[in-house]
Each structure stands twice: as structure tokens, then as C-alpha cells.
Structure 1
Amino acid sequence: MTPYSLHRGTAPLLISLPHNGSVVPDEIAARMKRPARRSPDTDWHVGELYDFAKGMGASVIRPVVSRYVVDLNRPSDGHALYPGKKETGLVPTIMFDGHDIYRAGAEPDGKEIADRVKHWWKPYHKALADELARLRAQFGHVVLWDGHSIRSHVPMLFEGRLPDFNLGTADGISCNSALQARVAAVLEAQGDYSFAVNGRFKGGHITRHYGRPEEGINAIQLELSQITYMDEDSFEYLPKKAARVQVLIGEMLQACLEGTQQLTA
């Protein structure tokens, strides 16, 4: 099974969708509890949601397998992203609702975790790093946009309803401050959706690891509340709702491109 798909674009913009995959190989699914086999914590439809960005010249990379196989937005050593807070790990054993993914005694051991990192995590990150290097060599500056989505209510992770749009730049470390302000201004100018900047979601491993604005790589994560573009119970994509969200995402991506031009000038 191919670990990922990569569309190579013509603009200084790479969109990574690390939780878009929903496939669970049969040999792993056989050890999972039935609810987990559906991969309910997938970032549903983000590939479709961002497909328009190819027309803007963006490169797009997305995985095949579910985050339950291996979480591409976690460091390969399993280090916690939010110390002291509940979160799922490199190879999760619980779902966002707190229920177990595996049947008792069927959890992956250290060797299996290392194998999953080798076969799924490393190829994705090599391709991501290579594409960033290609774009940076061509343009001098590049934006890495890490696209995510999540249910609007996940009590294990946060209280209440999540804001609709959640931008994360590791508290400003992973992105040039002027570029971050330009993107945030798009959200500030609209009045239909709630938003937060470096709130509960500050960016995961991809944002924090690759974001090096002093070296020409600016990384921004968008965690989008799924209620804005889909039915959270049935997982159905709702094109009319999604179209409104796509307009706003498109404006933020355009702000990234314009900001990158200023950095290059």
C-alpha cells in the first residue's frame, strides 16, 4: 500500500493533511474493537475541502492510513505535545471519546510501533521534507499549511464547543509574525465564524518541527471544527456549508502567498 499521495504544485505553498487517511490494514483492524474500525477520529473530507487549493498552485500531501495506525502529527519518539493534558499518542490506544481502540491484550508492542513508524511515518515525513526543500530552493520562502479538522465537542480534549477556526503557530515560533497577522486578519474581518489563534490547538509536531521562519519555512496549523462543513454524526460532507468554509480558507491561503511574496521581495 502506498503510504501517501503528493501533488506537486507551482507556488510556495505546501498543504499537509496528516489525519485525512482512514484506511486500517486488515491485520490491524482484526485486533480492534468494532467502533474503532470505522476510524471515527479521522479528519473527514479535508482532502475534498482543500482540493481547490491545487488551482492556486499549492502542493498537497495526504496519507492513506488512519491516525490509529500511526499519528503523523506526533514526534516519532512519542514525546507528548501538551504535557499535563490528555492527548492521543504516536500509536493511539484510545479514541477521542476515551474508549479503547484494541481488544484487551491486542495492543501493539514496541516492535510493532517501530515497524509502523518505519513503513508509514517516515515515508510521509521524508516526502514532506523533500517537497519543502524543493519549494524553498525555488522561491526562497515557503508556507507549510497543516490542515486538520475535529468534532466541535471533544470533552477529553477541551471543555465546551471548540471555536470554528483554530490557528496555531506554536505561540508564534513557527511563523513570521507579520505573516501570522496577515492570516489572522482574514478571520478578524469576517463575522460568521468563531476563531482562536494559539488557543487550545497551537500546532502539532509538523508545525513545530518544520516551522523555521528564520530559514524561510513558515508553518501554520488550522484545526477546523467539523460542524462547519459536515454532519458530525453521519460523517456526511455538506457541500453548501463546505463552500462557505472554502472561501474563507482560500482567503487565508491567498494571504499566505501574498505574505510570502513580501518576505521574498
Structure 2
Amino acid sequence: MSPYAVHRGNGPVVLGIPHAGTWLPEPVLAQLNTHGRALADTDWHVDRLYDGLLPDATVVRANFHRYLIDANRDPSGSSLYPGQSTTALVPTTDFDGAAIWSQAPSEEDIAARLEAWHRPYHAALAAELERVRALHGVALLYECHSIRSRAPLLFEGQLPDLNVGSNSGRSCAPALELQLVETLQEQRRYSVAVNARFKGGWATRHYGQPRRGVHAIQLEITQRCYLRTEAPPWHYDEQLAEPLRELLARALAGLAALAPQLAANPE
């Protein structure tokens, strides 16, 4: 199994999808307990949600599950949210706080997974961002995420529907964040939050370097917006998803249209 899949487009937007993969090697699957084997923290069907919304976008998708190693965590192991509950480079619990391993991976296991899975995924993502930047003078990384609307380990109560993260404005030009937020707020169906509980994962923070012409932003969507239920078997609901897809298509088109302006004025 390759660590990643790439669909190459020639537009300025790169869609990063680090958490939709469900593949695990059999020995790793055997080490998970019942909670872990449920794979409850998958970004279920988020790749399907975005499929075809921006035809000329490049897509870089991790094929492996985040329980093997999380492609959106700092490879050093540093926390994204110091002082707050979050999951690690290799998670030890699910988002409910339940342990997921019957036999926890060793430090040697984690180091091997970093080399075999995390680094190749990011090498592919970095290569596509550089290719797109060479074509357009700018690359726009849009990180596609989804999560259950209630995840007790990470936050209290119910999460807003659409959660924009730009590392508190540092990972992209203000115009790009404003464009996305204004588009999302044009409707009343979904609630919107900006740089609240989710400010962007490691990819957003690592690649988002506006002065270099690489802008990054993340959208975390609650799964109740497009799944029949936020529980197994995690059915995708086409009727529920359609208005969300229409909104996301407008948002992505708006970001792509900004590329010439951002290339001329990186910040």
C-alpha cells in the first residue's frame, strides 16, 4: 500500500486530505483493542464530500489511518495545542478518551512509522505545492477535515458546523481567510467559527508561509452536516451533503480566483 495517492491538477489549489484513509497493516490492526478497531476518529468520506468540486485542483490523500501515525501532527511529537487535550503523533486514545491499543506501539515502532508513512506523505504534498507554486507564482493549500460534532476529549459540548483555521491568521494572507469566511457566512444553514477550537493542524502551520507564496488554511466540518449519523456504519447522505457541497464549491472557486492577486502581493 502506498502511503498516499495524488490526483494532479493544474490549478492553484491543493487539497490536502490526511485523515480519510482507513488502511492499517495487519500486525498494527491486531495491536488495537475493540475501541481502536472501530476507527471512530476517521474523517469519514471527506474525500467523497470534496470530490469534483474544483476540477483543476490537485489532491494529496493519505491512504493510511491516523492510528498508524497521524499525518497532521508535528513529526517531532510537539503538541499542536499546549495545555489542551489533543491526540499525539501516534494516538493512544480516541476522541472520547478511550484507550485504543491492547499493545501500545514502542518508540522504535513510532520512528519506523514516521519514516515509512508520515515522511513520504509530506514529501508528496510538498512536491505538489512546489509544482503548483512554479505554475502560478503561488500555491493555496486547503486542508480538508471532518470530525464528530461531539468529541469529549477535545472540546466540551457541540462543535460549530464549519471551523476555519489559519493558525490565527499566520498561515495565509488576510484576503484568503476573509474570502473563505465571507463565503461560508453567506448562508444560515451552518454555524461558522474562525480560529476557535481548531486553528489548523501541523500541515496548515508548517506549509503556510505567505512570504514564500504558499498559503494554507483548514476547514474542519462536523460530520452531522453530511453523514446520516455520526456513528457506525458512518453512511454518507447525498441529500444532506448536497447543500454543503454547493457551498464548498463556491468557497473553493473563490479561493482559486484569488491566486493572481496573491501571487502579485503575497501578503
Tell me which interval the TM-score lies in, with the shorter structure as reference length.
over 0.9
Task: Note the residue ranges of structure 2 that are not aligned, 5 or more in a row.
Answer: none
Aligned Cα root-mean-square deviation (Å): 0.9
User: Are 1:229 and 1:239, in contact at CA under 8 Å, matched by a contact in 2?
Assistant: yes
State the 1:35 CA deviation. Answer: 2.5
- 1:46 to 2:43 alignment: no
Q: Distance in 1 between matches of 2:157 and 2:98?
A: 20
State the 1:54 CA deviation. Answer: 4.9
Q: Please state whether the residue corresponding to 1:53 is helix, strand or coil.
A: coil
5 Å matches for 1:138-177? 138-177=135-174
Q: Distance in 2 between matches of 1:92 and 1:264?
A: 38
Give the one of 228, 231, 238 matched to 1:233: 231
State the 1:38 CA deviation. Answer: 2.3
State the 1:157 CA deviation. Answer: 0.7
- 1:179 to 2:168 alignment: no
User: Are 2:90 and 2:110, in contact at CA under 8 Å, matched by a contact in 1?
Assistant: yes
Which moved further from structure 2: 127-136 or 22-31?
Answer: 22-31
User: Are 2:53 and 2:245, in contact at CA under 8 Å, matched by a contact in 1?
Assistant: no
User: Are 1:9 and 1:54, in contact at CA under 8 Å, matched by a contact in 2?
Assistant: no
TM-score by length of 1: 0.97
2:37 aligned residue: 37
Q: Spell out, residue by residue over 1:208-241, the C-alpha distance to the aligned partner (whole angstroms, 9 max, x if none).
A: 0000111111100000000000021231100011
Give the one of 107, 111, 114 matched to 1:110: 107
1:208 aligned residue: 205
Query: In the superposition, relative to structure 1, how do residues 91 and 29 fare at CA in structure 2: closer, same or farther (>3 Å)?
Result: same
State the 1:258 CA deviation. Answer: 1.3
- 1:97 to 2:96 alignment: yes
1:79 aligned residue: 78
Q: How many residues align?
A: 262
Q: Please state whether the residue corresponding to 1:144 is helix, strand or coil.
A: strand
State the 1:93 CA deviation. Answer: 1.1
1:18 aligned residue: 18
User: Are 1:183 and 1:252, in contact at CA under 8 Å, matched by a contact in 2?
Assistant: yes
Give the share of equivalent positions with the same residue, in percent: 44
Q: Distance in 1 between matches of 2:91 and 2:70?
A: 8
State the 1:36 CA deviation. Answer: 1.1
User: Are 2:54 and 2:249, in contact at CA under 8 Å, matched by a contact in 1?
Assistant: no
Q: Spell out, residue by residue over 1:58-81, the C-alpha distance to the aligned partner (whole angstroms, 9 max, x if none).
A: 000111111000000001111000
1:247 aligned residue: 246
Q: Distance in 1 between matches of 2:247 and 2:109?
A: 41
State the 1:165 CA deviation. Answer: 0.3
Q: Distance in 2 between matches of 1:168 and 1:31?
A: 33
User: Are 1:54 and 1:60, in contact at CA under 8 Å, matched by a contact in 2?
Assistant: no
Letter in 1 for 2:165: G
Q: Distance in 1 between matches of 2:6 and 2:54?
A: 11
State the 1:263 CA deviation. Answer: 2.0
Task: Note the residue ranges of structure 1 that are not aligned, 5 or more in a row.
Answer: none
User: Are 2:69 and 2:89, in contact at CA under 8 Å, matched by a contact in 1?
Assistant: yes
TM-score by length of 2: 0.96
Q: Spell out, residue by residue over 1:128-168, the C-alpha distance to the aligned partner (whole angstroms, 9 max, x if none).
A: 00000000011001110000000001121111110000000
Q: Distance in 2 between matches of 1:164 and 1:263?
A: 28
User: Are 1:24 and 1:37, in contact at CA under 8 Å, matched by a contact in 2?
Assistant: no
Q: Please state whether the residue corresponding to 1:90 is helix, strand or coil.
A: coil
